[in-house]
Structure 1
């Protein structure tokens, strides 16, 4: 059974009821896409890494793009956890804007850390793929739950938010800072000082950007 709270794609995949070949293909593809990029990885390589035939790959995924989406969609859906009461309970417990930013930065950073391979794939693909960017927009604009409206409502109630900052701007700033930090951690570790210190710096930078 799927865990109640999505924390890690690998854990989610482990609990999913699906054929072993499909699960092996997803695990192998995630490792290879994150290491070599989507365009730099062939389905032949995925099949070899997974220990299955290429025919098995196409049995479960009609195209390589479908394989990619099967990895990134669950992670993107839960990066903005529209249905996680725990997340918004944490936000509503914060009384000031700095407290709220610190909570979100810390909470979402740990989510990114648990899903680092998939997040690396998302970051790389969003730079070049319009389809991936459209998927991102679609997921955070879910009609069943207005994530942006709820987020804005909580920031606005502190009375500390700049009037020219909207919900989309807040999301861009938060996601941008965290994604860049993940890239730095992976490719330029010399720029990383330490997790606690860096998260505090990120929090302070965001607060300075959005606070009156």
Structure 2
């Protein structure tokens, strides 16, 4: 049985029962899309990197976009609904706003760092792909679970959160700080020092922004 907690796309993919050609196409496409972009990668490039033919790619994926969605969809789905029980259980255990902030920073950082290739594709393509933005919106505002509402409720329960901070602001603040750090880690490693210390600094910066 597949574990409830999705940690890494590659590990998840290894556990899936699927033809070798399909799996090879997904791995090669993820590597190339994350480095060269969706538009900068052709199916010829993917086939060559995967050691398969273009015909094999189109046997499993009708279009290049279908292939891209097969990479980012599992990450998006597990980032929000599928992982929410473990995530909110962890938040609920935190008794103060500083503890809550630190938990969310470290928890989401490790998730994103473990799926950096898929996340890079997601971030790049969301700027231009309307269908991807719509899917993202549906997952965030799922009818059976108010992710943003539950997040805000948890952050307000200690009475330490500024009144003018809403759920969207929390997501922007956390997302912005983590995105910048991940960019530094991948493209300017000289700016990155001890990971645990860096995450502690990020937590403190966020806390100064949102705490009363």
Under TM normalisation by the shorter chain, which class is it?
Answer: over 0.9
Find the aligned partners of 2:83 and 2:105 in 1 and give their Cα distance.
18
Tell me if structure 2 keeps the 8 A contact 1:81–1:87. Answer: no
Find the aligned partners of 1:21 and 1:205 in 2 and give their Cα distance.
46
C-alpha deviations, 1:102-145, integer Å up to 9, x for none? 00100111111111111121222233434333332221111121
Find the aligned partners of 2:80 and 2:105 in 1 and give their Cα distance.
12
Find the aligned partners of 1:113 and 1:83 in 2 and give their Cα distance.
16
C-alpha deviations, 1:74-112, integer Å up to 9, x for none? 112222355442211110111111110100100111111
5+ residue gaps, structure 1, are none
Q: In the alignment, which residue of structure 2 is the partner of 1:54? A: 54
Structure 1 runs of 4+ aligned residues shifted over 4 Å read none
Q: In the alignment, which residue of structure 2 is the partner of 1:95? A: 95
Tell me, what secondary structure is at the counterpart of 2:127?
A: helix
Find the aligned partners of 1:92 and 1:79 in 2 and give their Cα distance.
18
5+ residue gaps, structure 2, are none
Find the aligned partners of 1:151 and 1:93 in 2 and give their Cα distance.
13
Q: TM-score, normalised by structure 1?
A: 0.94
C-alpha deviations, 1:17-53, integer Å up to 9, x for none? 2111111100110111111111111011101111111
Tell me, what secondary structure is at the counterpart of 1:80?
A: helix
Q: Report the RMSD for the aligned CA atoms in angstroms.
A: 1.5
Tell me, what secondary structure is at the counterpart of 1:25?
A: helix
Find the aligned partners of 2:113 and 2:6 in 1 and give their Cα distance.
13
The number of equivalent residue pairs is 212
What's the offset of the Cα at 1:187? 0.7
Find the aligned partners of 1:25 and 1:19 in 2 and give their Cα distance.
10
